[in-house]
Amino acid sequence: METKHNVTPIVGSIFVHVIDMNRAVNWYAKLLGISVSPGPYDKVFSIELSNLILLLDAHRSDHFQPSELPLFSFATKDIDETYEFLTSNNVEILGDIERFPDITFLTIKDSEGNLIMFVQE
């Protein structure tokens, strides 16, 4: 028998810890092609995406350690076009595009050194 509970099986938000909120907000705004009001910003800044909320969080900036593994991925329909966009915007790309029969991806560093992926399925 299935137990009922209040947990909804949907990811509502992702926290990305940052050290410099102004730099991070502007970096993500440029990457995502969105406009944001000028700072300064509070310790938490939310960016509403089509499927969830990206929460930039500077509460622990005095103990900040960038992620050593990718935190999440953004979907792309054309990894090569995404690669060109990233390089033309001086985004640090780690390694080459990795290509497999059913998935292609690349890894970048955000403005704070956190690792993020772009994935084409």
| Among 91, 30, 19, 31, residue whose Cα is nearest residue 56 | 19
Is the domain 13-120 a CATH 3.40.190.10 member?
Answer: no
Name 81's Cβ contacts closer than 8 Å, sequence gap at least 6: none
Taking 90 as the threshold, does the pLDDT of residue 39 lie above it? no
pTM of the predicted protein model: 0.88
Q: Please report which confidence band the pLDDT of residue 8 belongs to, taking 50, 70 and 90 as the band edges.
A: confident
- DSSP state for residue 27 in the 8-state scheme: H
Taking 70 as the threshold, does the pLDDT of residue 1 lie above it? no
pLDDT at 115: 98
Per-residue pLDDT of 58-96, as tens digits, reads: 998 788 899 999 999 999 999 999 999 999 999 999 999
Give the whole-angstrom CA distance, residue 91 versus residue 108.
Answer: 7
